[in-house]
Amino acid sequence: VAAAISTISVEGRKHHVKKTKPKYRSHSRNTPTSSPAPAPYPSTHEGVFNILSFGAKGDGVSDDSKAFVGAWKAACEVAGGKVEIP
């Protein structure tokens, strides 16, 4: 049993792959911290409510829950309404 355990641990070490970080670095000092949110665009389909049209920023920082709820409520008022989250 001990020989089997040591064999397994040795085999595990043989198959270990070291992960390395990419070596490229940006030398630009004007690199933005986040990309700008896409501009709100109207939906091309009736009954589809884009949350950006309800004030969502979509930047990963802002709280977009009010815009989501607004789009959801509007979609609930239309038969087959859908909320679009780009």
The more confidently predicted of residues 76 and 45 is: 76
Q: How does residue 40 score in pLDDT terms, banded at 50, 70 and 90?
A: very low
In this structure, the number of other CB atoms found within 10 A of the CB of residue 51 comes to 23
Whole-prediction pTM:
0.48
How confident is the model at residue 86, as a pLDDT? 86
Nearest to 43 by CA among 79, 65, 75, 69: 75
